[in-house]
Chains A and B, each alone.
Chain A
Amino acid sequence: MFATIFPSMESILVISLLLTPVISGLLITLFKRKRIIETTTIISSLLILIQGLFLLSYILEKKTISIFDGTFYLDSLSAIMIITISLVGFLTSLYSVNYMGRQYDKLIVDGKKLVRYYQGFNMFLFTMLLVPVSNNLGIMWIAIEATTLVSVLLIMLYTKQGSIEASWKYLLIATVGLSLALFGIIFFYYANSVYDNSFDSIHGMDWTNMVKNAPYFDPNLVKFAFIFILVGFGTKAGLAPMHTWLPDAHSEAPSPISALLSGVLLNCAFYGLLRFHIISSHSIGPEFSNTLLIILGITSLGIAAASIYFQKDVKRMLAFSSVEHMGIISASVGFGVFLGIYGALLHVINHAVVKTLLFFSSGSISQKYQTKSIADTSGIIKTMPVTGFMFLIGGLAIIGMPPFNIFMSEFLMLSSGFSSGNFLASALMILFLVIIFASFGKHLLHMVFGNPKSEMKKGDLGKFSILPMVILVSIIFVMGIYVPEPLQTLIEDATKIVLVGGVHS
């Protein structure tokens, strides 16, 4: 229905999408009072969600939007990202009002820190939204680098030892990783410039331009470049050998932020990796990048399987399960079958939803039990029946129990693994999934059931924290059995892009 109005309507939509978090960030710096900050953040993230949905319906019709002659380019792949970011962002803003509010009352966090938190929160949303929108790869890189810097600020919100260590490691590893990624980008840019005789430096960096010229790139250069990109963005996406920062960063950050980090930021980095996977599969065929993705995917699955059993801290365990799920997504993209990529993109959404639910519920649980260690929390279903139930559903969903949504995407991915012929990788995947099922299940059961150690009065914390969890649980149940129509077509278009790299414009 928007197509009829003059084309600039899309540009207004995109610009407003980007500007809302920036404006609310400014508003927050002006008014310092707690009530106003919270309401502005909620309103801004609600606005983002609505604009995201409009954009989604738009892309469903017109497949792509490109404005300011190519600096901003959206297709169904970036639409999936925007939807996850806006949905999780909105729910996190609701939850952080309750979570930070309680911390504020308990004087863990003072007024200044609260302001800094909400500023960081909005800037985080802005930088993350910038990633899927930008067509120019340099801007995309800067956006991802900015997400790192902003999230470091958010992680070091508390001044205790653990958060300093976590933020230092995160800053160092992420910056090293991203500089590697920049190396790769410049290599691609160089490959583009060397081939294209009518080389205009303005559009050289655009993804659409690169995909168009990809078949003519020099194969060796592309291989070198993709390696740098893979290691660079792989670090940020938490793939195997480079995942070491992830458990520390996610367990030290405040729960709403680690929900954003785990649920959405990893996907943005993987989105960047996916963009370059398309270019390289265009220029030298998908086998090269597929094998690399499978290798990294299976190793990260293996390392996650190895470490979940020994975890003593809930959020570290959840962080390792994010490593596991990013490994599954990258391996199934690597399988390179329509069903597999469809499952992987579906899994991006499912994982974001379930991981956010888990971080929310574990956040309130650790607030009530005043400890993050698994050994001390038990009998949650008794002391906090609603949150306990949510945590149980989230836990069962994350380890792939069927009636929930993750099982559907894992089903698709594993079947694509078998039908694409790499039996060893799929067999390993099933083995690691079972190991993770056993170890995660052990901790989950210990926490949810049994009788609580110290006498604790029954009662959940705050209506606001329950609301986002209820929404998430309903999404998990619905998506477990039925994937809504528009989402199905969106993911199918995105799969067409990734598989064939078919560029519409």
Chain B
Amino acid sequence: MDLILPTQIDLLHISAVILLIATFGIVVRRGFSDWLHAYRYQTIILSGIVALIALITGIWELYIVSALTLGIKAIIIPKVLFYVTKKLDSPIKLEINPYVSLRISVIVSALLVAMSYFMALQLPISSDETISVFLPVSFSLFFIGLFIIISRRKALSQIVGLLTIENGLFLFAVVVTHGFSLIIEIGLMADILIGVIISSILLFRMSQTFDSIDIKNLESLRDD
């Protein structure tokens, strides 16, 4: 590993902070399109980070991977989701009262970030600089995504939550394993893409049958 210039280290820190802010952006917003914009920024930052790591570690595959993420995750997936939200025939395009009010969800996400930093300390990963910076970030991305799925009422927000978890996972993979072999990388991307397509089909079906994509009317199968 060549000597990392100080500027690169605080560059890493800056990019980590920006990524967290973008994730908080998703948590705070209410409208469908706001989520998707926030998600798009997050993915762009993510691909920037990947390029930065590629620059630092000098592994050329990472450049392809960051290009791939930019292409698929930042452009195609949001476009698909925008198309879906336009086609939804439910008039109001925003989430009125999620299970957890926005203010509390911000506090909870901050708590989750703190927890992921505490968890990262437990793990005996100290050697590499990039890992020690980005490991807690990926954990927090993962837990915030999980929290979004739990606390929101609209199906679309749950998809966005799912994608945030995927981003956290992807960051963790790139940081820790410097991108395992390309086949697995492509396999991952394909999975996420198909996942989004299927969930958008389901979204269409839901809006046709329930004419609203609120999770409330998805509770008929239960043990009462």
Q: A168-B155, A307-B223 in contact; A221/B124 too (CB < 8 A)?
A: yes
Which among B127, B169, B178 is the interface contact of A179 at CB below 8 angstroms? B169
B221 within 8 A of A: yes
B14 within 8 A of A: no
Give Cα A152–Cα B199 distance, bound, in whole angstroms.
Answer: 10
Q: Which residues of the other chain, B, contact A310 by a CB distance below 8 angstroms?
A: 223
Listed stretches A246-254, A289-297, A452-460; interface member: A246-254
- Report A394 CB to chain B, min CB distance, Å: 23
- Give chain A interface residues in 100-145, CB to chain B under 8 Å: 136, 138-139, 142, 145
Is chain B's interface secondary structure helix, strand, loop, or mixed overall? helix
Asked whether, in the complex, the Cβ of B162 is within 8 Å of the Cβ of A176, the reply is yes
Q: Which residues of the other chain, B, contact A202 by a CB distance below 8 angstroms?
A: 181
Asked whether, in the complex, the Cβ of A161 is within 8 Å of the Cβ of B209, the reply is yes
Give Cα A153–Cα B176 distance, bound, in whole angstroms.
Answer: 33
- Report B200 CB to chain A, min CB distance, Å: 11
Give Cα A194–Cα B165 distance, bound, in whole angstroms.
Answer: 25
B5 within 8 A of A: no
- Report B98 CB to chain A, min CB distance, Å: 16
Give Cα A114–Cα B127 distance, bound, in whole angstroms.
Answer: 55
Give Cα A242–Cα B220 distance, bound, in whole angstroms.
Answer: 19
Contact residues on B (Cβ < 8 Å of other chain), bracket: 35 or more
Which among A146, A153, A183, A224 is the interface contact of B191 at CB below 8 angstroms? A146
Q: A159-B205, A183-B142, A189-B180 in contact; A149/B149 too (CB < 8 A)?
A: no
Which among A156, A201, A220, A247 is the interface contact of B124 at CB below 8 angstroms? A220
B52 within 8 A of A: no
Asked whether, in the complex, the Cβ of A149 is within 8 Å of the Cβ of B198, the reply is yes
Give Cα A221–Cα B126 distance, bound, in whole angstroms.
Answer: 12
Asked whether, in the complex, the Cβ of A248 is within 8 Å of the Cβ of B172, the reply is no
Q: Which residues of the other chain, B, contact A248 by a CB distance below 8 angstroms?
A: 221
Q: A165-B220, A176-B149, A220-B123 in contact; A190/B209 too (CB < 8 A)?
A: no
Q: List residues of A whose CB falls within 8 A of some B CB.
A: 136, 138-139, 142, 145-146, 149, 152-153, 156, 159, 161-162, 164-169, 171-172, 175-176, 179, 182-183, 186, 189-190, 193-194, 201-202, 204-205, 218, 220-221, 224, 247-248, 251-252, 307, 310-311
Please give 18 more A-B residue pairs, beta carbons under 8 A apart, in addition to A146-B191, A149-B195, A186-B172: A139-B184, A149-B198, A159-B209, A161-B209, A162-B221, A164-B205, A168-B199, A168-B206, A169-B221, A175-B195, A176-B146, A176-B149, A179-B142, A182-B169, A183-B142, A201-B177, A201-B180, A218-B124
